[in-house]
Amino acid sequence: MDLTPFLASTGNGTPEEGLESIEIPGRVAVVAKGRFLLRALCRSFGGYSRITCAVTDQEMCLDYLAAEADDPYELLVCTDYLETGNGFDLVREARQLHPKLHAVIVALGDVIPAECIEAPWLEAVVAEADFVDDQQPLQAAVMAVLGGHSYRSPSLRTGILPYLSCPRLTPREYEVLDLLASGLSDREIAKRLVVSDETAHTYTKRLLQTLSVHNRLQAVLKGMRCGMVQI
């Protein structure tokens, strides 16, 4: 999936990780598994003007990076699991081609492969589990790499995952969680459930309250950790 051509027509995002407050001097590439995570990571930047590559697979991202060699990218944010390829392999190849490129990997598997732990090309890795605690690990990782530092989010530094409480959802909450994980907006959820936009927004708000999270990204990631949803 290539979301890049549609970013200019989708307006601003809804910042969820504070990245809109970070000054990034160059262009940004975002690569993630599935429509939801791709859109959620793009929304983290607030405005989309800096993102000129938003795709779901490794080779498509490398094509973008190669095509823009004269105006190189500043930052690559990707998940470890992709539609095709792997985030760790992507970062390794991307930084070989563009040594000055900064990269942050969101580890949905909450682990760094053993062969990559000490790799010099691996700047920053954020464990999926650390998003749920609202610690804004992605913001910390981006700030670190732009400042020339490495970063590992708390779970990766300590080897201890944060306590996870999995509440029971109602059938409607499960339905809304599935639709969120599919990348649907409140308006699209309203059409799917044949309810008003206001009612769909209320459904989403109640789901966040039940899961004790602050935003959609946290909701879906917690749902994944609790085995409630897949992307």
pLDDT one digit per residue (tens) for the chain, 231 residues? 888 887 765 555 555 556 777 888 889 999 999 888 998 888 888 777 889 999 999 999 999 999 876 788 999 999 999 999 999 999 999 999 899 999 999 999 899 999 999 999 999 999 988 887 666 889 999 999 999 999 999 999 988 887 888 999 999 999 999 999 988 888 999 999 999 999 999 999 999 999 998 888 889 989 988 899 887
Name the pairing type of β-strands 73-79 and 102-107.
parallel
Angle (nearest 5°) at CA 42 between 89 and 205: 125
Instruction: Give the model's pLDDT for residue 133.
Output: 66
Structural domains of the chain sorted by starting position, each given as residue range(s) with its CATH number in brackets: 4-158 (3.40.50.2300), 171-225 (1.10.10.10)
**For residue 124, which of 98, 142, 99 has the smallest C-alpha distance?**
142
β-sheet bridge partners, residue 54: 30
In 19-57, which ranges are continuous DSSP H helix?
34-43
